[in-house]
Structure 1
Amino acid sequence: YGVTADEAHRFGLPCGGTLELVVEPLTEASTLAEVLDATSAGKTVRRTLDIVTGEATLHEASVLAGTSFDGRYLESVFGPRLRLVLIGAG
């Protein structure tokens, strides 16, 4: 997406940027059932996908964690997240 300004606008990329997609086959090793179980239990988990090997691992995560990709590992966070933090001193 994003080759021309018209295409970028059509797909909701007003900045004219680009979008990378990761397509992963759904297998038993995908750990998606475990992600579903954890989020149903109210846990926040980080799923790390190795783009080279296709191996996925699952770990507990902080509610402050975010998605990241370094070219090989795609880390996605699932589950409850902080939406608003109020700090008062009075």
Structure 2
Amino acid sequence: MMKEIELHLVDAAAPSGEIAVKDLAALATALQELTTRISRDPINTPGPGRTKQFMEELSQLASAPGPDIDGGIDLTDDEFQAFLQAARS
């Protein structure tokens, strides 16, 4: 069963509707880590070690278009993944 989570950033340092690239990359990384850890618990593998492939696929995050406050851009899932990959390197 897929769950949808809507995230709102309140009282951020950036203007309303904006987020710094470094903050976005850090936020995405932290959220992915959190969902992976939560997903590992039901199959009793909460400790250290490599997560099983099917659990990585089940816990994978994706982005969806949201409200556009200041005329920003929406990224497709592929574009978002490419963006994150570039931000990590």
Q: TM-score range by the shorter chain?
A: under 0.3
Rg larger for: 1
Q: TM-score, normalised by structure 2?
A: 0.23
Larger relative CO (CA 8 A, sep 6+): 1 or 2? 2
Q: TM-score, normalised by structure 1?
A: 0.23
Q: Which has the higher strand share?
A: 1
